[in-house]
Amino acid sequence: MPFVTWLRQKLLPRQREAARKAPASKPANPGLAVQPADATHTPQKIDQPETVDMGVRMHIAAHDPQFSAKREAAVQTILAAIDRVAQAHGFTKKPKSWAKLGALGTVSIHLQRSRYGFDCQINLVFQPLPEALEGTWGQDEFIPLGRFYPPPSATAGTLTYLDIHQNPAALDQPMQVLNDLALPWLLAHLTNPQAPLLPCGHA
C-alpha cells in the first residue's frame, strides 16, 4: 500500500471525530448577538398634544375657495342661535340687531364681524333716555359677551366661523352665557336706574 494512501486512512477518521466533538462557535460578546433577519423594531409611539395655530388656520382659509360659503353658513347658524335666545327674553329682531325698549332706554344685541373675516363677537348695548351716560356705559360704547366668561380673556366669547361650521355645538357655551348671565344683567338697565353703576360681568 502506498504510504500516502495509508496516511490518509489513518488521519481522516481522527479529523472527522475531532470536528464532531468540537463545541459550536459563540459570538465574542453575547450582548452583540445578531438579531434574526426577520426581527423588526417598532418605535414606541408618543402622543403629542395637538396645538392649533390660528395664523395657519387663517392662511388656509384665505386660500380655500369654499371658505366664503362656509363663513356665511356659520353666520346664519350664529344669527339663528342668537335669535332664539333674544326672543326668549323679549327682544325684537331688527335688520342688524335685536332690541328691547323699556322705561329707562333701549337695550340691544349686535353681532360684530372681525375685519379679518375669520370670526365675530356678540356685543351688548344700552342707550339710556337721558343724554348723560353713567357707570360702565360712560367708558364703553358696547360690552362684549366675553366680559361675562369665567374668567374673561381677550379671546373669550370669540366665535370662529370654521369652528361653528364644523360643529354647531360650539355655540352652546356662548349661548348659555348670553342667556344666563349677559342678558339678565343687560335687561336690568331698563328698570333699575342703578344698573349702569353695577360691575359688568366679571370685570
28 phi and psi angles, rounded to 5 deg: -60, -40
Q: Is 202 contained in some domain?
A: no
Which residue bears the cell 335687561? 187
DSSP 180: I
Q: Which pLDDT value is given to residue 33? A: 47
Please, what are the averages of pLDDT over each run of 10 residues along the chain (203 residues)? 51 56 52 47 42 68 82 96 98 95 93 91 89 56 89 83 94 96 94 83 48
Q: Is 39 contained in some domain?
A: no
Q: Is 7 contained in some domain?
A: no
Q: Is 49 contained in some domain?
A: no
Among residues 171, 56, 181, which one has the least CA distance to residue 120?
171
Q: Which helix (H) or strand (E) holds 101?
A: strand 97-102
Task: Identify the domain containing residue 139 by its residue range.
Answer: 56-197
Q: Which long-range contacts (CB under 8 A, 24 or more apart) does 131-136 make?
A: 133/196, 134/196, 134/197, 135/195, 135/196, 135/197, 135/198, 136/196, 136/197, 136/198, 136/199, 136/200, 136/203
Q: Is 104 contained in some domain?
A: yes
Distance (Å, rounded) from C-alpha 175 to C-alpha 109?
A: 12
Q: pTM here? A: 0.68
The number of distinct structural domains making up the chain is: 1
